Amino acid sequence: MSRAFNFCAGPATLPEPVLKQAQEEMLDWRGTGMSVMEMSHRSDEFVAIAETAEKDLRELAGISDDYAVLFMQGGASSQFSTIPLNLLGEKASADYINTGIWSKKAIAEAKRYGTVNVAASSEDSGFVTIPDQSAWRTSADAAYLHYTPNETIGGLEFDFVPDSGDVPLVADMSSTMLSRPVDVSRFGLIYAGAQKNIGPSGLVVVIIRKDLLGKARKETPTMMNYQVIADNASMYNTPATYSWYLAGLVFKWLKEQGGVEAMGEINYRKAKKLYDFIDDNDFYANPIEPRFRSWMNVPFTLADDALNGEFLKGADARGLLNLKGHRSVGGMRASIYNAMPEAGVDALIQYMSEFARERG
């Protein structure tokens, strides 16, 4: 059995050395006679695993002591409600930028708790672009400004960090976290479901500026209260211990690769190769305005949708898995996160080129 190239959008491929290390440590973590899965989260061993993961993440992403790092549960989607519950405070409304399906879900959830001002939207364009910031109708009185730096389904990515003035900037970085350098100090809160670029599902990483803690509404469930989670080092209850451990292995692996700068260069190269090929080949197309094409998720269509099934079958046979586009978009999508080796992108391009020659 050999490893395939898995282009799944999430849960996504993990670095092979990480899986191997997890395998080696599965039955007996460093002489403890236990799997990490079987350890008390209060044990010295697990606390050390957890603290090391946080330290490595802080180092990788350049997170200062002004921020708390939380390892929460419930995926990125639970943050769609956790964020308004914690950050709306006394304010009446929050600003949201609508650039695709994940933005819309965040907006729909926030509306349950307060007034949402959609300050800009690219829905009219079919979400192929990002509205210029000069046209955003943000309000100086908003509790926060929420946006989705990378729309995983549409394959649309911001190539800039919005300027939110004194309003805290909140970002759903589920599918772009640690894929390229980002200045964390520009943000009030960053969150990311783990299963794209960080580790297995079941974990969501939240990076929150400490002055934003302690503003949760009274009715906020304890498990969703950032202050409570921060005060208890993300162990108010039993955390997703194994996911946390694996995330820690991924952080170590990222450091060995040269960190986020090095990953950014590799990711840029991988994405550019694939988009260049798509643009140069009449058989394939990607609709996104080039400047805003995602480095992580590359949707593309074939000239004839009737060939989709055959394309996917041929891809599977070569060990190029999970290329089917999201059900709402159709076509194909190649997710090429940090853990997708450049060789995987090369193999995909090779296959796409042969398929177009034979069937185009």
Catalytic residues: 102, 172, 196
293: which DSSP letter?
B
Q: Is the peptide bond before 11 cis (omega within 30 degrees of 0)?
A: yes
Q: Which of 15, 75, 199, 248 binds ligand PLP (CB under 6 A)?
A: 75
Considering only the stretches 39-47, 171-179, 180-188, 268-276, report the one whose residues sit in contact with ligand PLP under the rule CB under 6 A: 171-179
Nearer to ligand PLP, 242 or 355 (CB): 242
Q: Say how far apart CA 71 and CA 192 lie, in whole Å.
A: 10
Number of other CB atoms surrounding residue 256 within 10 Å: 11
Long-range CB pairs of 347-351, under 8 A, 24+ apart, other chains included: 347/5, 347/318, 347/319, 347/320, 348/5, 348/7, 348/274, 348/315, 348/320, 348/323, 349/273, 349/274, 349/277, 351/314, 351/315, 351/318, 351/320
- Residue 102 near ligand PLP by CB under 6 A: yes
Interface residue with ligand PLP among 81, 82, 152, 338 (CB under 6 A) is 152
Residue 76 within binding range of ligand PLP, rule CB under 6 A = yes
Alpha-carbon span 290 to 346, nearest angstrom: 21
Contacting residue, 122, 174, 179, 294, with ligand PLP by CB under 6 A: 174
Report if residue 73 touches ligand PLP, rule: CB under 6 A: no
Confirm whether residue 42 is marked as ligand binding. Answer: yes
Contact between 148 and ligand PLP per CB under 6 A: yes
Give CA angle at 191 (83, 249), nearest 5°.
145
Nearer to ligand PLP, 100 or 356 (CB): 100
**Spatial separation of the C-alpha atoms in residues 141 and 124, rounded to whole Å:** 27
Stretch that binds ligand PLP, among 14-22, 74-82, 179-187, 222-230 (CB under 6 A): 74-82
Which is closer to ligand PLP, CB of 138 or CB of 201?
A: 201
SS3 category, 353: helix
What are the binding residues? 42, 76-77, 102, 152, 172, 195, 237-238
What are the binding residues for L-glutamate? 42
Which spans of this chain sit near ligand PLP (rule: CB under 6 A)? 10, 75-77, 102, 148, 152, 172, 174-175, 193, 196
